[in-house]
Amino acid sequence: MTERTLATQEPDDRGAGQEPPQRKNGLYHEVSEELAANMSQGWADTERPDLRPIPQAGHTARRRTELSARFPGERLVVPAGTLKTRANDMVYRFRPSSDYVYLTGDQSENGVLVLEPREEGGHEATVFLLPRSDRADGEFWLSDRGELWDGRRNSLGENRRLLGLACGDVRALAGTLEEGTGPVRLLRGHDAGVEEALRDKVTAERDEEFRVFLSEMRRVKDDFEIADLRFACEATARGFEDVVRSLGRARATSERYIEGTFFLRARVEGNDVGYNTIAAAGPHATTIHWMRNDGAVRDGDLLLLDAGVETRNLYTADITRTLPVSGRFSPLQRRIYDAVLEAQEAGIAAVGPGAAYRDFHDAAQRALAVRLVEWGLLGDLTVEKVLELGLQRRWTMHGTGHMLGLDVHDCAAARTEAYVDGPLEPGMCLTVEPGLYFQPDDLTVPEEYRGIGVRIEDDILVTEDGNENLSAALPRRADEIEAWMARLRA
């Protein structure tokens, strides 16, 4: 990684207490007038006047109209977010806030969507963005974030054509935010500068209502979102195939090889992984959110792989398969696996329009409780008593699913009555992911169970007449998994 300096650095032989050389505009030392003049000329015009709107532009316009109708007469402010430091002067790859993407389709850092109320009703939407670097004043090469360093940005005109809404210079946003005396609502937590500028104009109560409404807007997916989720699942399935083919190399290295293999697919076909990959082999599979991915991959163990490709439009899949590293389940592994599969199938069967959101969780938990009682792990208690006391949760701690979309745990700010206590509707997408986890040190189960963890997860779309498994391309039954693995490794 090249440091952001053009001048040659002298060896650092400063004595104690001496200050380092001062930087101006990211450079060590002053630049000559001749270099500045040279850099200000000889650049081609690269404006692209023929750009077409992005595919989701019509959908984002409709979403903004819905948002406008909910908050008439109020200014609404939705930031994309800013770069975050990883270490020293290195930053993480930027990923904008999901609500900003949902309403604009843009993925630019520092962007801010402002919906300004009109006297005649409705809102005027403007997205404030950083324009092209100015070649005349040297910003493109003298600034730490100029285009020579970080790549070409779209001009405001280009963004206007792409996004289908008015674009302003974000450097003038502070003045815009100072104007007006009416009520303002802000999506907090993404841009400290915007929050400071609006500190005296917003209230925590209004902003929380705004955040909740935005989250609830995203519960039902439109055609564009469903198509993107479908592609995310297809790409993720190919990533799982890549992992199966690489298991020989993973055995010679570690779980990191599995993580890296899947990441390659995510970057080639999408934007990134939608969340940190869980590549949990052997007893690590009993840790529900194992993300260290530094353990051994051994024949005879199971691999629990929980991973999802995030598309270039930022929608993510979330799929889990539990695979025998050797390609064959042992009898006990198959027994536990089949119990989890039964629970998942019961959960999927409970997903449909009009069903209570909690139904699929309850169905899966009941199926697991039946098997745990049958195996004698809960004494002489009945299934009903086990469920009443929640004793099955010792081995299946998490909920059976969650909504899915721009966030892997989508719509997280929605009210309880609109989410987990509400009904399912066509267009909702959720995961169904029961699991059983027998910890290596759990003395309440037979020794042979200890260290076995199994989870099976699929992405389920609620349809008008039932549901569709968007991740059905990946096999789920134990015999199908063994045949699939043998074919890929042949």
- Between CA 283 and CA 267 the distance in angstroms is 29
Catalytic, 92? Answer no
Catalytic, 190? Answer no
SS3 content of the chain, % helix, strand, coil (to 5): 40, 15, 45
Choose, from 457, 458, 459, 482, the residue flagged as catalytic: 457
DSSP track, 396-411? --S-S--B-SSSSSTT
Choose, from 255, 306, 345, 407, the residue flagged as catalytic: 306
Could you tell me the CA-to-CA distances from 370 to 240, 342, 452, 456 in Å, in that order? 31, 10, 19, 18
Q: Are the CB atoms for 445 and 376 separated by under 8 Å? A: no
By three-state DSSP, how is residue 232 classified?
helix
Choose, from 135, 256, 398, 450, the residue flagged as catalytic: 398
By three-state DSSP, how is residue 57 classified?
helix
Choose, from 158, 433, 458, 482, the residue flagged as catalytic: 433
Residue linked to tokens 């081609």: 44
Choose, from 14, 23, 267, 289, the residue flagged as catalytic: 289
Question: What is the β-pairing status of strands 184-186 and 75-79?
Answer: parallel
By three-state DSSP, how is residue 23 classified?
strand
Choose, from 100, 315, 437, 449, the residue flagged as catalytic: 437
Residue type, 82: T
Q: Are the CB atoms for 298 and 248 separated by under 8 Å? A: no
Burial of 272 (0-12, 13-18, 19+ CB in 10 A): middle
Catalytic, 421? Answer no
Choose, from 171, 298, 409, 487, the residue flagged as catalytic: 409
Choose, from 190, 361, 455, 476, the residue flagged as catalytic: 455
What is the maximum span of the chain, computed from C-alpha positions, in angstroms?
A: 89
Could you tell me the CA-to-CA distances from 267 to 151, 156, 229, 422, 490 in Å, in that order? 19, 28, 16, 36, 26
Burial of 19 (0-12, 13-18, 19+ CB in 10 A): exposed
Catalytic, 318? Answer yes
Choose, from 99, 109, 225, 318, the residue flagged as catalytic: 318
- Between CA 279 and CA 133 the distance in angstroms is 42
Choose, from 30, 66, 89, 137, the residue flagged as catalytic: 89
Phi/psi at 269 (5° precision): -100, -20
CB atoms within 10 A of CB 121: 10
Catalytic, 398? Answer yes
DSSP track, 112-177? EEEEEEPTTSSEEEEEEE--PPPTTTTHHHHSTTSHHHH-PPPPHHHHHHHHSSEEEEGGGHHHHH
Catalytic, 409? Answer yes
DSSP H or E run through 460: strand 458-463
What lies within 8 Å, CB to CB, of 253 at 6+ separation is 297
Catalytic, 457? Answer yes
Question: What is the β-pairing status of strands 278-281 and 75-79?
Answer: unpaired
Catalytic, 437? Answer yes
Length of the chain: 490
Structure tokens at 370: 């039946």
Q: Give catalytic residue positions.
A: 89, 289, 306, 318, 398, 402, 409, 433, 437, 455, 457
